Amino acid sequence: MNTLLPPPSVLSSGIPTVLGSNFLAAPASNLNEPTTTIVPTIQNIVSTISVGCKLDLKKIALKARNSEYNPKRFAALIMRIRVPRTTALIFSSGKMVCTGAKSETESKLAARKYARIIQKLGFPAKFMDFKIQNIVGCADIQFIVRLESLHTYHTRFCSYEPEIFPGLIYRMLQPKVVLLVFVSGKVVITGAKTREEIYEAFNNLYPILRSFKKPVEK
């Protein structure tokens, strides 16, 4: 069995590396299987834009508030704003990654604000190529899941190495997302491009999790 660990960025930025074309999506749930009214909440949206020009990160760091730049540690300048509460990674190429927003609207608004800050510092910055790269959602199904049994019966779709990572990693290709399932019933969905994919993936997996619910001890 291959050991698959979600990188530290899997819950905050970038597209998860555990996706692969060799994995098949889990079969869609039957109509007579248990459904749920639980709706995953959006925890983080990662988007990218381009400001269309080269940037002097040292100049930005000296003039902009709430920014930090240490090229020996990381190639990008880190900038933060409070409304909406987000963080941007700004690269000298003019590319920018915006993370921390709770909705698509917030993410776009934040990206526009960062572009405007750069523009006010004297750069011919524009707002170009806005794209949602990753949406992270989470839910609590409120029952204990027998992860070892789930892994045994769904080896084709998941990996589980509890001595390395406490969560079970469940892969779907339709929609193309990764779900991290914890024994407590917490579920994290990542890799989605739209919130509809978050909801669809959770609704697909929920009946499966129900079938591996640990009985309550009396």
Give me the pLDDT at residue 10, please: 40
The closest of 83, 98, 106 to 129, measured between CA atoms, is 98
Give me the pLDDT at residue 35, please: 67
Give me the pLDDT at residue 149, please: 95
Burial 122-132 (b: 16+ CB within 10 A, else e): ebebebeebeb
Provide the 8-state DSSP code for 145: B
Rounded-to-integer distance, Cα 106 and Cα 177, Å: 22
Give the pLDDT of the chain (218 residues) as one tens digit per residue.
433 334 444 444 333 333 333 334 444 444 445 467 899 999 999 999 999 999 999 999 999 989 999 999 999 999 999 999 999 999 999 999 999 999 999 999 999 999 999 999 999 999 999 999 999 999 999 999 999 999 999 999 999 999 999 999 999 989 999 999 999 999 999 999 999 999 999 999 999 999 999 987 76
Measured CA distances, 181 to 87, 170, 202, 206 (Å):
27, 7, 11, 11
Peptide bond into 16 cis (omega under 30): no
